[in-house]
A and B are shown apart, each in its own frame.
Chain A
Amino acid sequence: MARRLNWMIPRLLEASLGAIFVYAGLQKHWRPEEFAEAILAYRLLPPGLAGLAAAVLPWVELCPGALLLLGFKKRSCLLLLGLLSGVFMAVLLLTLARGLKIDCGCGLFFQRQVGLAAVLEDGLFLAAAAALYWWELKPVARGQ
């Protein structure tokens, strides 16, 4: 039973993480102009790069999310999702420090402002990606 749980919990976590990033990526991919506005509101990128970021970022969520769901190159996908969450965490904290009251543009379920909830949510994704990467490394380290 414990063995089965040990196998099931990471699989469930991986599927959830992959699905969340696929969903978030699709929301942004379907509304690129709204996502570009959200990026501009952070006032970190010049307009010349904001459009490029609005085009690329949804796919950087979508591709590793989908590949994680499919079980292809899971460790690399987890590295990418972890990196994405880490960079976004830095952006959120910087935005909070600058006192900007803007929509987070997270693309998940409902609109919300940059704040503690968005930081906690992103921290959860970061922790899940790190834990799963470590989990995926274990059998390799044991030589399995």
Chain B
Amino acid sequence: MSLLREDLGWAGFILAVAAFFGILQHWTLVQVSLRGELPRHLEESRAQRRAVQFQGVKTVSLDQAHTLWQGGALFLDAREAQEFREIHVPGALNLPPEVLEKEGERALTGVPKDRAIVVYCGQAACDAALKVAEGLQQRGYTQVQAFLGGFQAWDEAGFPAETSQ
């Protein structure tokens, strides 16, 4: 019993040291969080990271995406197959980044390179849509745009959805 108490004591000490170093290392993040500004801070840092990581990938707003859908643009759902099957934008095809990596251009056989394409994923925080859009641009598709609000924004706006189950 005293052995366990000793182990727990040291575990508590290591935990305290770890917490101290963590707070010290990320003091800015902790301050932002305690001020209640974390969501805005994350949004800004996400936008900065994406501007560098996915330079050259065009994006569209929710309204623009809806207009493009009404105009017959091809919608690509970059989420995993199971999520896609549950619910997706009507007419969309499922193309997660791993499938595009594996299959390359075969994943979109028959789709003209200049066809208007909109790629989306689950919600604003996911990068899958940008990955797929970038991958398609690299493979010569010229009218590719990523819809960053994702299916969550589409669904919350009350736009149509369908299921494959």
Contacts and interface: CB of A to CB of B under 8 A. Distances in A.
B21 interface: yes
Contacts of B13: 76
A55 B26 contact: yes
Chain A interface residue number, banded: 35 or more
Interface of B: 3, 7-11, 13-15, 17-19, 21-23, 25-27, 29-30, 32-34, 36, 38-39, 41-42, 45-46, 49, 80, 83, 122, 125-126
A64 B11 CA distance: 9
Contact of A48 (B9, B34, B42): B34
Interface of A: 29, 32-33, 36-37, 40-41, 47-52, 54-60, 62-64, 67, 73, 75-77, 79-80, 83, 101, 103, 113, 137, 140
Given A37-B46, A80-B14, A60 B19 contact: yes
A31 to B, nearest CB: 9
A36 B15 CA distance: 20
28 contacts: A33-B49, A41-B125, A47-B33, A47-B38, A47-B39, A48-B33, A48-B34, A48-B36, A50-B33, A52-B33, A52-B34, A54-B33, A55-B25, A55-B26, A55-B29, A55-B30, A56-B19, A56-B23, A57-B22, A60-B18, A60-B19, A60-B22, A63-B14, A64-B14, A76-B11, A80-B14, A80-B15, A137-B3
Given A52-B34, A60-B22, A64-B14, A79 B29 contact: no
Nearest to A101: B83
B103 to A, nearest CB: 18
A59 B25 contact: yes
Given A32-B29, A51-B33, A80-B14, A56 B22 contact: yes
